[in-house]
Amino acid sequence: MPLSLTIKRLLTTQPIDLPVFHPIAIRLQQMLETTDFTMDAVIALASEDQSLAGQILKVANSTVYVGRVRTETIKDAVIRLGAKQVSNLAMAASHAGLHVSNVPMINDFMRLLWQHSHACAVGSRLLARTAGYSQFADQAYMAGLLHDVGKLYLLKALERLNNAGVAQAALEQDLLMEIFHELHVDQGSRLMEHWNMPKTYSGVVASHHLAKFDTSDTVLTVVRLVNEACKLKGIGVESNPNIDLMELQETDLLQLEQDELDDMLDAIEDSMDLQLP
């Protein structure tokens, strides 16, 4: 069905400051883009919002992330995991908390979207290491987490319109999928530009669906492959059990074997165990 021009206009003109990022998580990302941050500054900022700090520790101690020693404080997390990983966990924890809605159908889509984004983050981090690009593992994690941020923005916009008594007609599964396919990349790119997010991540948001992409961009290649793996496993709003990962260009570019793909598939399935509000 053709996407209603009225709905499209309403969605694309919503304010860019809809709640899709936690301000502290953004500030942590921006801090780590500089060269003069201190560990104490990272600890202080990550501890500023006690609710977020609690969620960071919950993520850090989940089965997906936990090491041999349980992390009891943000300081412990920074020492054990490093500032970059704690910053990533802050984004993941805050992102999870934003994937909720008082509109049942939107809430269902948000939960599926969170599961997909988190699985992409976890799988991308592992795959970067497996493929011999450990230096990009943290970036791959964040890129996987944010690649579909345009979908979250659209859902937040729909929720706002619905609560205002507008666009109830858009709350049908087929139309929501059409909205995603047509608008989520452009709206995600709009968000990334507004928040001045690093080019590594904005590039993934803009290019993760392109038929022709920059094959020299390792982070993009990793996220594209894990995104397809999530579809294969039915993690998220899309499912395609007929995908053959070994036949994909991304697998060839990363020179991966079947057992390495199997490990990644196990990791994205394990990521489903992390449940946050």
**How is the chain split into domains, by residue range?**
5-17+100-273
At residue 276, the pLDDT reads 54
The overall average pLDDT reported for the chain is 88
Q: What is the mean pLDDT of residues 89-100?
A: 85
Higher-scoring residue by pLDDT: 126, 49: 126
Per-residue pLDDT, 67: 60
Q: Is the pLDDT of residue 122 over 90?
A: yes
| Residue 112 backbone phi and psi in degrees, to 5 | -65, -40
The pLDDT, as a whole number, for residue 69 is 65
Indicate if the pLDDT at residue 37 is higher than 60.
Answer: yes
The pLDDT confidence band at residue 139, using thresholds 50, 70 and 90, is very high
Considering only residues 83 and 226, tell me which one the structure prediction assigns the higher pLDDT: 226
Question: What is the radius of gyration, based on Cα positions, of the chain?
Answer: 18
pTM: 0.87
Distance CA 250, CA 253 (A): 5
Closest to 189 (Cα-Cα) out of 202, 204, 201: 202
Contacts for 161 with CB less than 8 Å, ≥ 6 apart: 10, 11, 14, 167, 170
What are the residues whose beta carbons fall under 8 Å from the beta carbon of 252, sequence distance 6 or more?
none
- Which of the four CATH numbers 1.10.3210.10, 1.10.580.10, 3.30.465.10, 3.30.70.600 does domain 5-17+100-273 have? 1.10.3210.10
